[in-house]
A and B are shown apart, each in its own frame.
Chain A
């Protein structure tokens, strides 16, 4: 990553991932233990990971205030194209898909390495963002991994990003409050939900996004390294059977009184 701040526009890359719709109820969630993946039920889609969508929002807020070029980058199957189109419709300028059978079922180490190589290939990048974690394997290590591989400073769980010359000031969420930190560019930030809700795409933007070209890079362009972690098993843990006692009554008030009495009898209140 080379810094070219002050020379024309800023270049930002936002890494996004497709995941099975996390809003689907637990009752329809199932897995294929052989393939070690979730089975997508009929009628459910792969969608952009929630935090990644907020990472897109975070950089578009920068783009709202100053000139910059935002590239959305995703590693995934052909369905990741939809996720990239969604990023374009939100306001990203470019999109690159990293798709290859060799990239499938990558661990965090391989994923971060391939994304870092792609960012190097994109060239002069000032800022990289991604979600604090993706909603599939919930690892939360790809962002920090990319930063480590690119040897740029990394700020995790940010709630706000402001560019100020060749530096960036961020609000970071920690256990007992917040930190305001400053880092020189180029840098990487992982974005949490505290940044607020992502913007909606207009119909016009959605139409424009459909016509934009999405570059596809494969293992011809980037050689993935060897995996570090291997998944031995994927399973649904045995649920403790909890029989729910429902309180009935003529009125809501009556039910409430019964609940309070039951909690008292069980010494819970």
Chain B
């Protein structure tokens, strides 16, 4: 059977498709147009709101498969894997894309191994190779110091997960037509071996780090949780959010959900202010390309200054109180 079409695995929250899913549909549409082929999306869940399917069509999908069953109420790798594998074997897509989200990171490798194909994770560029027709998959490696481009010769579908906030979603077009297909996965009540005993939501107060327009970030040099209280003060004045480097998160000066970097959150504020942040590559990889960076560090050779637009070489403890005062004065008027 000829393999054709692009399939993306969507995610949603309530009646809203996730922003990463819109980005998946954006790059998926581009790839499908190159092939003059179809773009399909699949959503798995229980009592899925039809609005989600309509949003996917407006964002570029031609077909939307809805796998709706009570066993899909919460994400469990074993059941989701069995369901997706069934769909992939049935419709035989050429390309299969997932988001590099909690679910995508957990599910995509297992799906790839189970299908016997090659996956590339956390991609920032995808295109078809002119010579072979295979999918060229480019991703950051060595903690963001370099990039590597891969192709998969050894299997189908061509698989990748994509990094958030790199690919552009299409502006929603509500006049687009598409087909919504309820899909009954042929899984015989497959029991998940993993049982969820408890779910704890860590709702952090204030503005979400990923959505903040201003991010104040502290690094190793902050020295302790007390220092971060001062950062909170600045964040409040600038109506922003506070994040930390991996060291700050390791030492529990900030919650692990506030770690910025390749393995933590990716942020895309207009302004990022780094205090006592050295600027390791894996950290800088978590800051979007169009963000303006301001940095305060004692060490003039700190790597963060190679990314910064504005810099102060000094002890952050001496700079911060005056910065807070001046910002308060400027932002109150």
Partner of B198, one of A180, A227, A230, A237: A180
B residues 171-192 near A (Cβ < 8 Å) are none
- Give Cα A198–Cα B313 distance, bound, in whole angstroms: 33
- Give Cα A182–Cα B197 distance, bound, in whole angstroms: 7
Across the interface, which residues of B come within 8 angstroms of A180, CB to CB?
Answer: 196-200
Asked if A175 CB lies within 8 Å of chain B CBs, one says: yes
Do B263 and A259 touch across chains, with their CB atoms under 8 A apart? no
Stretch in contact with the other chain, from A72-80, A119-127, A129-137: A129-137
Asked if A184 CB lies within 8 Å of chain B CBs, one says: yes
- Give Cα A108–Cα B143 distance, bound, in whole angstroms: 17
Do B256 and A173 touch across chains, with their CB atoms under 8 A apart? yes
Do A242 and B306 touch across chains, with their CB atoms under 8 A apart? yes
Do A108 and B149 touch across chains, with their CB atoms under 8 A apart? no
Please encode chain B, from 211 to 226, with 1 for each CB lying within 8 Å of some chain A CB and 0 for all others. Answer: 0001000000000000
- Give Cα A240–Cα B175 distance, bound, in whole angstroms: 39
Q: How many residues of B contact A (CB 8 A)?
A: 90
- Give Cα A139–Cα B112 distance, bound, in whole angstroms: 13
- Give Cα A153–Cα B102 distance, bound, in whole angstroms: 17
Asked if A42 CB lies within 8 Å of chain B CBs, one says: no
Do B193 and A153 touch across chains, with their CB atoms under 8 A apart? yes
Q: B55: shortest Cβ distance to chain A, in Å?
A: 20
Please encode chain A, from 14 to 37, with 1 for each CB lying within 8 Å of some chain B CB and 0 for all others. Answer: 000000101101110101000010
Do B194 and A153 touch across chains, with their CB atoms under 8 A apart? yes
Q: For the side of the interface on A, what is the size category? A: 35 or more
Q: A29-B281, A177-B199, A228-B155 are in contact. Are A136 and B322 (CB under 8 A)?
A: no
Across the interface, which residues of B come within 8 angstroms of A133, CB to CB?
Answer: 263
Partner of B151, one of A142, A194, A232: A232
Partner of A138, one of B110, B262, B306: B262
- Give Cα A216–Cα B77 distance, bound, in whole angstroms: 34
Across the interface, which residues of A come within 8 angstroms of B155, CB to CB?
Answer: 228
Do A179 and B193 touch across chains, with their CB atoms under 8 A apart? no
- Give Cα A230–Cα B149 distance, bound, in whole angstroms: 8
Partner of A236, one of B145, B270, B320: B145
- Give Cα A178–Cα B199 distance, bound, in whole angstroms: 6
Across the interface, which residues of B come within 8 angstroms of A234, CB to CB?
Answer: 141, 146-149
Asked if B169 CB lies within 8 Å of chain A CBs, one says: no
Do A154 and B309 touch across chains, with their CB atoms under 8 A apart? no
Please encode chain A, from 216 to 257, with 1 for each CB lying within 8 Å of some chain B CB and 0 for all others. Answer: 000000000011111111111101101111110001111111
Asked if A181 CB lies within 8 Å of chain B CBs, one says: yes
In this complex, what residue of A is CB-closest to B279? Answer: A26
Across the interface, which residues of A come within 8 angstroms of B202, CB to CB?
Answer: 176-178
Do B289 and A247 touch across chains, with their CB atoms under 8 A apart? no
Asked if A7 CB lies within 8 Å of chain B CBs, one says: no
Do A112 and B145 touch across chains, with their CB atoms under 8 A apart? no
Asked if B310 CB lies within 8 Å of chain A CBs, one says: yes
- Give Cα A121–Cα B287 distance, bound, in whole angstroms: 44
Do A268 and B117 touch across chains, with their CB atoms under 8 A apart? no
Q: A138-B141, A144-B109 are in contact. Are A244 and B119 (CB under 8 A)?
A: no
Stretch in contact with the other chain, from B46-54, B56-64, B325-333: B325-333
- Give Cα A154–Cα B331 distance, bound, in whole angstroms: 50
Partner of B319, one of A141, A227, A256: A256
Partner of B326, one of A159, A228, A251, A257: A257
- Give Cα A196–Cα B322 distance, bound, in whole angstroms: 35
Asked if B32 CB lies within 8 Å of chain A CBs, one says: no
Do B141 and A145 touch across chains, with their CB atoms under 8 A apart? no
Asked if A174 CB lies within 8 Å of chain B CBs, one says: yes
Please encode chain B, from 269 to 303, with 1 for each CB lying within 8 Å of some chain A CB and 0 for all others. Answer: 01100000000111000000100111110000001
Query: Which of A173, A232, A261 is packed against the most chain B CB atoms within 10 Å?
Result: A232
Asked if A104 CB lies within 8 Å of chain B CBs, one says: no
B residues 11-36 near A (Cβ < 8 Å) are none
Partner of A259, one of B112, B198, B315, B323: B323
Across the interface, which residues of A come within 8 angstroms of B105, CB to CB?
Answer: 140, 156-157
Please encode chain B, from 101 to 116, with 1 for each CB lying within 8 Å of some chain A CB and 0 for all others. Answer: 1100110111011101
Do A269 and B142 touch across chains, with their CB atoms under 8 A apart? no
In this complex, what residue of B is CB-closest to A145? Answer: B113
- Give Cα A243–Cα B305 distance, bound, in whole angstroms: 9
Asked if A210 CB lies within 8 Å of chain B CBs, one says: no
Asked if A147 CB lies within 8 Å of chain B CBs, one says: yes
Q: A232-B149, A263-B310 are in contact. Are A226 and B197 (CB under 8 A)?
A: no
Please encode chain A, from 99 to 123, with 1 for each CB lying within 8 Å of some chain B CB and 0 for all others. Answer: 0000000011100100000000000
Q: B90: shortest Cβ distance to chain A, in Å?
A: 20
Can you identify 20 A-B contacts, CB atoms within 8 angstroms? A137-B141, A138-B121, A138-B139, A138-B141, A141-B108, A176-B202, A177-B257, A178-B199, A179-B200, A184-B193, A187-B193, A193-B246, A228-B152, A244-B310, A252-B315, A252-B322, A259-B296, A259-B312, A262-B310, A266-B292
Extra contacts, 11 of them, besides A141-B112, A229-B153 (Cβ < 8 A), are A29-B281, A108-B118, A135-B142, A137-B141, A140-B105, A147-B110, A154-B77, A226-B154, A246-B313, A263-B310, A266-B292
Q: Would you list the 7 A-B pairs with minimal beta carbon distance, nearest first?
A: A228-B118, A141-B109, A252-B318, A256-B322, A144-B109, A260-B326, A253-B322
List residues of A whose CB falls within 8 A of some B CB: 20, 22-23, 25-27, 29, 31, 36, 38, 107-109, 112, 132-133, 135-145, 147-149, 153-157, 159, 169, 173-184, 187, 192-194, 196-197, 226-237, 239-240, 242-247, 251-257, 259-264, 266, 268-269
